Amino acid sequence: MREELFRLIQNHAYRFREEPFTLASGKKSRHYFNCKEITLHPERLELLCKYIVQKHLPETGLDGAEAFGGLTMGADPICFGISLEFRKQFKNVFPLIVRKQAKDHGTKNLVEGGVNAVKSCVVVDDVITTGGSTLQAIKSLRDAGLEVKACICILDREEGGKDAIEAEGIRVFPLFKKSEFGSLE
């Protein structure tokens, strides 16, 4: 499964061009990983979440997690997919959505989902560069009263994000690292 996911990322999510892309972090790079090409494609998302639940979580000791949550929109399909994969095992594992900012109406919550049903969660992101989005999600999840146990992501760009997240006491378990895709930059 991991080899197939790697091939899908290489063929569908990875882009290279001489004119640099601007990343969410504001950094520039000639290498871009658009993991939405995996997470917003039903067949690819199904394989990703099956791999996460059956292999990645047990290997990292995170298979007992109560919930998975992260900043919308990168984490949303992953969290939903993980939750549905666990349902196949008759387990309720809650997806949590972390808003980028609170609504100005209703409950005004930053975190939506089964917040009151769980005590802890694993934070999720698709790609980690500087860790800014993941750190924002961690703060919101903690502010909602949850213990953040660890972090998983599809790809660690190896540009300081993992270190920044681990400085917050959260271990990061990427499925892949940028360096696995060859000598990039």
CATH code for the domain of 42: 3.40.50.2020
pLDDT grade for 27, boundaries at 50, 70 and 90: confident
| 143 labeled binding residue | no
| 157 labeled binding residue | yes
Euclidean distance between the first and the last CA atom of the chain, given in angstroms as a whole number = 27
Query: Which pLDDT value is given to residue 102?
Result: 72
- Tens digit of each residue's pLDDT (9 = 90 or more) over 32-50: 999 999 999 999 999 999 9
- Per the structure, the count of domains in the chain is 1
| 76 labeled binding residue | no
What are residue 121's DSSP bridge partners? 148
Query: Which pLDDT value is given to residue 106?
Result: 63
pTM over the 0.85 mark: yes
The domain containing residue 6 runs over which residues? 1-181
| 39 labeled binding residue | no
